[in-house]
């Protein structure tokens, strides 16, 4: 499956990067050193592009990419990057990673509960609006089928900043960086279908209501779900180790 996606990307990229219409023969010559593929296969892929509106044939000269093709090219690139990152991640993870990850999350749970409580008391309209904007961007990113790692990190950074306690914010920043925690947690939540954005919405609503107990509980539930997802992930992958 991964090979077929990469081949589709390579063929469409070959069409996109050409300043003139590109045909099967030209693309075959360009790709044959990288892929074990026949000219007939290239031709079938190009005809499929025509059918899907990703490319347009211009007589015998070849094809040019469409705007839909450019969008699909970006989607393919994101899919390939995600697949390669996932494969590299799974090759390096073991039970000790699970144990360390859970310990860091447990420390974050205690500190982020306090951050949420302080944010209820100290966050002004500017801080609340920043949290709201980050969530909107996160929801947009997820709707496009991409992993919102950056937005997740930004939300927790903004939440810590909204607490008004610089020492707490700095400590939480160090914890999030521990072992590149944020990308790993984001990957696990994405694989498990966790609702990161939904959790963040609930936390923000508690802050907007100025309800410190509810804000604490929302953050605690959020981190507990992360911990549960980590445990299930390593169990499913046969890497539970000490995390069991």
Same-domain pairing of 127 and 206:
yes
Same-domain pairing of 79 and 118:
no
Residue 22: the pLDDT is 94
* 3-class DSSP assignment, residue 193: coil
pLDDT tens figures, 39-56: 999 999 999 999 999 999
Q: Is the pLDDT of residue 84 over 80?
A: no
Q: Average pLDDT in the 21-41 region? A: 91
Range with top average pLDDT, 41-45, 175-179, 186-190: 41-45
Same-domain pairing of 163 and 69:
no
Query: Mean pLDDT across the chain, nearest whole number?
Result: 84
What is d(CA 161, CA 31) in angstroms, rounded to the nearest whole number?
A: 50
Same-domain pairing of 76 and 180:
no
In which domain, by residue range, is 122 found?
93-243
What is d(CA 58, CA 147) in angstroms, rounded to the nearest whole number?
A: 37
Domain boundary among 84, 107, 123: 84
Same-domain pairing of 7 and 118:
no
Same-domain pairing of 71 and 136:
no
DSSP 22: B
Q: Average pLDDT in the 163-187 region? A: 75
- Residue 182: which pLDDT band, with cuts at 50, 70 and 90? low
Residue 241: the pLDDT is 43
Residue 94: the pLDDT is 53
Specify the CATH number for the domain of residue 66.
1.10.10.10
Same-domain pairing of 13 and 112:
no
The pTM assigned to this predicted structure is 0.58
């Amino acid at each position: 499956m991964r090979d077929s996606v990469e081949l589709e990307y390579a063929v469409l990229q070959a069409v996109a990067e050409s300043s003139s219409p590109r045909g099967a023969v030209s693309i075959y010559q360009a790709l044959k050193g990288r892929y074990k593929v026949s000219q007939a296969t290239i031709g079938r892929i190009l005809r499929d592009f025509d059918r899907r509106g990703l490319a347009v044939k211009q007589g015998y000269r070849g094809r040019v990419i469409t705007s839909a093709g450019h969008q699909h090219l970006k989607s393919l690139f994101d899919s390939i990057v995600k697949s390669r990152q996932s494969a590299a991640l799974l090759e390096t993870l073991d039970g000790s990673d699970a144990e360390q990850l859970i310990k860091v999350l447990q420390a974050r749970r205690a500190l982020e509960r306090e951050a949420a409580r302080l944010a209820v008391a100290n966050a002004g309209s500017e801080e609340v609006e920043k949290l709201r904007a980050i969530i909107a961007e996160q929801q947009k990113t997820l709707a496009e089928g991409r992993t919102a790692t950056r937005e997740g990190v930004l939300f927790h950074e903004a939440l810590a900043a909204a607490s008004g306690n610089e020492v707490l914010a700095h400590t939480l920043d160090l914890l999030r960086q521990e072992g590149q925690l944020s990308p790993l947690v984001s990957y696990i939540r994405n694989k498990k279908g966790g609702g990161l954005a939904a959790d963040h919405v609930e936390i923000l609503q508690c802050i907007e209501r100025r309800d410190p107990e509810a804000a604490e509980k929302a953050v605690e539930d959020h981190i507990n779900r992360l911990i549960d997802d980590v445990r299930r992930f390593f169990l499913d992958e046969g890497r539970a180790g000490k995390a069991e």
